[in-house]
Amino acid sequence: MEKTLEAQAFDVYTVRKDFPILHQEVNGKPLIYFDNAATSQKPQVVIDALDTYYLKNNANIHRGAHYLAAKSTEDYEETRSAIQAFLNAKNVEEIIFVRGVTEAVNLVAATWGRANIGEGDEIILSEMEHHSNIVPWQLLAEEKGAKIKVIPITDEGELILDEFEKLLSPRTKLVSIVHASNALGTVNPVKEIIKKAHQQGAVVFVDGAQASVHLEIDVQDLDCDFYAFSGHKVYAPTGIGALYGKIDLLSAMPPYHGGGEMIKEVSFEKSTYNVPPHRFEAGTPNIADGIAFKYALEYVNRFGKKNIAAYEDSLLSYATEQMQAITGLRIIGTAAQKVSVISFVVEGAHHSDIGTLLDAQGIAIRTGHHCTQPLMKRYQVPGTSRVSFAMYNTHEEVDAFVIALKKVLKMLL
């Protein structure tokens, strides 16, 4: 895998050439894609990897003795090793393929959670969590008679850590926390949270869906017990992601799905189960997207996350300054540490109307509650408009967006 230390100089106009979808018109206007927190676009190397698999190497993996099966297996497992390096996991066996963070949370809730959470135990979440990091724990709590506690946030969108410490108790069994908020952009101090949770003997799950594409991730340094991210946020295809878990935890967890690959021996009397990670990967996996996943991670490493983050931070600062000057516009989420996400509301203008009228100008943004309804309730808004930047966006696109937004608001207000 290409190393960040060898990262080439970052030039956004060179980067843009690698993303075919960007070079088109939408509604007669050049496409400006500012919906990257929902999903990123894919570089040519990822698209080519999908083509190569289906054109040359298509075969099922792990069980075949012929060339195509061996080649596909090798390519697929190379991605697992790439993810291990991307997260700095200690062992490749600690990397489980999943469809994305949603499946990862459900997997841990259904396996570790059912085995370790009991009546009266406590699960701590935060006020800014995505629904996928709320609902699986609610289902588990309802089943087991456990209790969910919630870390409150400030008006700026930062966790109130003093309140978190008050929530911790000997009954705390799990803390599940988002690394970077998809709705606010807030980067949470997860290392500090993990340390405090471990002092109470709690296990910590980190939702890295937004963080993985923007921040350097080192699961050994964080000392998290679980960490999950989705490939489609980090320039890989949809339907593929990864769950990291400490090997001792994974080894003690029961299977999630039953079927092929996750077993050692099967009889009608009794079945025995495979070791991690294969214990949690029943059936034919998403092979093509899994193989292409590696090429996306290599693409990011080609430029280096630090270089990419520095550029995205410049976009964030540039856009924030211009948007704050618009009368009636209020940014929701002004934490000191943010990834390149800006959620906003405009007094008198509905967020969906803003999104629809911007789309007519070829500008793609996200509107709604962003699967964070409790967070919207905290800010007493039905939803927000959200712009989110990636490594291929430009300052000129920000300028065009701001001009278009001002025109839209004149129409609505």
Helix (H), strand (E) counts: the chain: 16, 17
Kindly name the residue from 31, 47, 50, 371 that is annotated as catalytic: 371
* DSSP assignments along 216-230, one per residue: ---HHHHT-SEEEEE
How do strand 95-98 and strand 32-33 relate by DSSP bridges? Answer: unpaired
Smallest CA-to-CA distance from 202 within 164, 228, 242 is with 164
Exposed, middle or buried by CB within 10 Å (0-12, 13-18, 19+), for 42?
Answer: buried
Residue 227 · residue 87 · CB < 8 Å: yes
Do the Cβ atoms of 228 and 208 come closer than 8 Å? yes
Q: Describe the crossing of helices 395-412 and 351-359 by its angle, rounded to 10 degrees.
A: 120
Spatial distance between the Cα atoms of 351 and 368, rounded to a whole number of angstroms: 7
- CA-closest candidate to residue 161, choices 129, 189, 182, 127: 189
224 as an active site residue: the answer is: no
Burial 154-167 (b: 16+ CB within 10 A, else e): eeebbbeeeebeeb
| Cα–Cα distance, 275 to 143 (Å, whole number) | 27
Sheet containing strand 203-207, strands side by side: 95-98, 241-245, 226-230, 203-207, 172-178, 122-126, 147-151
Give the residue carrying structure tokens 């699960």. Answer: 123
- Which of 349, 327, 241 is CA-nearest to residue 289? 241
Q: Which DSSP symbol is given to 138?
A: H
Rounded distance between C-alpha atoms, residue 87 and residue 297, angstroms: 11
**Residues taking part in catalysis:** 371
